[in-house]
Each structure stands twice: as C-alpha cells, then as structure tokens.
Amino acid sequence: MLITTPRSQLLAGIRVLLPSTPGVVVFSLVIGVAGATAGISVYACGAMAMLVFAGTSQLVAIQMFAAQAPVMVILVTVLVINLRFLMYSLSMAPHFGALPLRWKALLAYVLTDQVYAFSALRFDGHPDMLHKHWFTLGAGLTLGVPWVVATVVGYLLGSGIPAGWSLDFCLALTFIGLLGPAVADRATLAAAVTAGIVAVGAVALPMRLGLIAAALCGILAGVGVELWRKA
C-alpha cells in the first residue's frame, strides 16, 4: 500500500493537473468573451463559472441565452450535457463512500473531466491508498481557481471588442478541439457522428431543441454500440 499523508496527496493532485491549466485558461477565456458578446453581465458570467463549473454546458447555455431560448429549455439542455458527471460520481463513490457529507459535496463540486480522469487513474493503480480525497481536492482547486478568474478576465477583454467582430468561430473551434481527444473508441465515435448528424438535421427545430435531440441520440448510439461490443 502506498504510504501517503493529506499534504502529500494534496500536492500530488496539484502537480498532476498543472500541465492542464493552460488549456483550461484558454477555454475559460473563450467562455468569458462569449458571455460578453451575448450580453450577459459580468456578475452572471462569473457566477456561472463558479456554480456550473462545466465549460461545454456553459458555452451552450450562453449560446441559447443569446438566441433567447426559454429558461426551462436551457436548464434541460445543460442537465443532459452534464449527465456524464453522474457516471463520474458513481465511479468515485467506492473511494469516497465513508467520507462525511461535507467532503462528498466538496468533491462532487470539483469533479471535472480532467479531475476525474487523473483521480480514477491514480486510485485504480493504488486502490488501498489513504487520503484519496485530498488528491482530488488538490486537482480540483488547481483547475477551479484559474477557471473562474480567466472567465472574468475573458469577459472584460470581450466587452472591449467591437460588436462587428464576430467571435462565433471561437466556440466552434473550441468544441472541435474538445471532440478530437474524446473520440477514443467505437462507442464515442458512434456517439459523436450520430449527434453531429442529428444536430445538423434538427437545426430548424424551435428553441434550440435540436441540441437536446442531438445529445440524447448521441448518448443512445454510444450506449448501443458499447452494449453490442460486449454482447
């Protein structure tokens, strides 16, 4: 069993996530700029960074807000996009099940894609390791603090950009950059292709419902391929 202390675990979490910080900063800068161009207040944009803390859903919510979609449709869309965090939590539950509720709530808050990936990798390699929650906390804070700060900075930068400078392409490039590394097997490829086809085909649906349809169809396609592969 790997001998650890809370301090060593906290520092290990910080070290392993530091290389990911530049990419997170760029992503959050784009979100801040998008919020400014969409007409959202700096306070709302900063609050979204702290409360939602999920880049893809934040970008989608900002786009839908700019398109004047109903609030309920925005909330449902964000919920569907963030369903993956439920799977992350279920995966982490055996490691954190004995912790007090305050720790579980804190770790659930900082459990981003990167934090989950590195935490799962470390815990699988050392299942009996002590103080695992300090590692996840260190990793989460390493991304969380720059995320919020860079979002506000991006907003302030974006508010000074002339309205004639369309920044919509930044959002598309960001999503393309996220999609490439995420397609790691047949299931994720099926999900990406299906969601893309449905999104294009359903683009004319009112209230941006095509996004919800694309997300649901992508999830179903990915699950279907995974079940077929295991059959």
Q: How many residues does the chain have?
A: 231
Cα separation, 172 vs 174, whole angstroms: 5
Q: Are 30 and 138 in contact (CB under 8 A)?
A: no
Q: In the prediction, which pLDDT does 153 show? A: 92
Mean pLDDT, residues 171-195 taken together: 71
What does pTM read for this prediction?
A: 0.70
Cα separation, 153 vs 214, whole angstroms: 32
pLDDT tens by residue, 55-83:
888 988 888 888 888 888 888 888 888 88
pLDDT tens by residue, 138-181:
999 998 999 999 999 999 987 666 555 555 555 555 556 556 65
